[in-house]
Amino acid sequence: MSAWDIILIITGILYTQLVEHSLHRYVLHSDSSKKKKKTNEKGSSWFSFHWLKHHKEARRSSMIDDAYVEVRGHALVELALVACLMLLHVPLAMFFPSMFLGIVLGTLAYLLVHHACHTRVGWAKRHAPWHYDHHMGPDQDSNWCVTLPLLDAFLKTRKRYAGTAREILDLQAQRRRDAKVRAKKKIKHGRSQ
């Protein structure tokens, strides 16, 4: 493998970072993607699953998204979209096979990191805190990178949340809300006997 091949592999990986960031920010989080899709509604996006299902589920379940645990629903839609994007890049393999290899590696890294983040919260907080911050932090319109926070750092869209005083306060408030819900269920269950 030549130095040129290594440069092209790295270029392919960096290219996937740019695509990941741009699609996440400008397509999956566009205003039309955040609208509920109704029959024949103008202005809603086919990509609304990301905001309306994936973000809602991850937020509700402290980062866990069952669609990624079982690889179904919107996780399958994401997999199909990524596969289509990969197919678009196949012609590149004829002219720049090393760059295509970098794109494949970057794409596989994205799929593995994203899956791990939504199936293992502790792993996400330790190894991809920027993606945990994207879902659990107060500003879900920041921290666009999933695999590595390179562009978020460069574009200053990285906002830290994991391990901050704000997260600790939010987790304490969530525990109090959960305890109230459990207490209400216990009371309701006790009355129904």
Per-residue pLDDT tens over the stretch 29-39: 877 556 555 44
- Smallest CA-to-CA distance from 102 within 111, 93, 112 is with 93
Q: Once rounded to an integer, what is the mean pLDDT over residues 1-28?
A: 95
Residue 43: predicted pLDDT: 47
Q: Once rounded to an integer, what is the mean pLDDT over residues 95-124?
A: 96
- Band of pLDDT at residue 174, cut at 50, 70 and 90: confident
Write out the residue range of the structural domain in which residue 183 sits: 163-193
- Judged by average pLDDT, the poorest of 88-92, 148-152, 175-179 is 175-179
Q: Residues 144, 179: one domain?
A: no
Q: At residue 189, does pLDDT exceed 80? A: no
Q: Residues 174, 142: one domain?
A: no
Q: Residues 125, 191: one domain?
A: no
Q: Once rounded to an integer, what is the mean pLDDT over residues 138-147?
A: 93
Residue 190: predicted pLDDT: 66
Query: Alpha-carbon distance 149 to 26, whole Å?
Result: 17
Q: Residues 158, 169: one domain?
A: no
- Band of pLDDT at residue 184, cut at 50, 70 and 90: confident
pTM of this structure: 0.83
Query: Alpha-carbon distance 113 to 108, whole Å?
Result: 8
Q: Residues 102, 158: one domain?
A: yes
Q: Residues 89, 182: one domain?
A: no
Q: At residue 14, does pLDDT exceed 70? A: yes
Q: Are 70 and 119 in contact (CB under 8 A)?
A: no
Q: Residues 156, 77: one domain?
A: yes
* Percent of the chain residues topping a pLDDT of 70: 89
Q: Residues 137, 168: one domain?
A: no
Q: Once rounded to an integer, what is the mean pLDDT over residues 51-62?
A: 86
> Number of folded domains in the chain?
2
Q: Once rounded to an integer, what is the mean pLDDT over residues 35-57?
A: 66
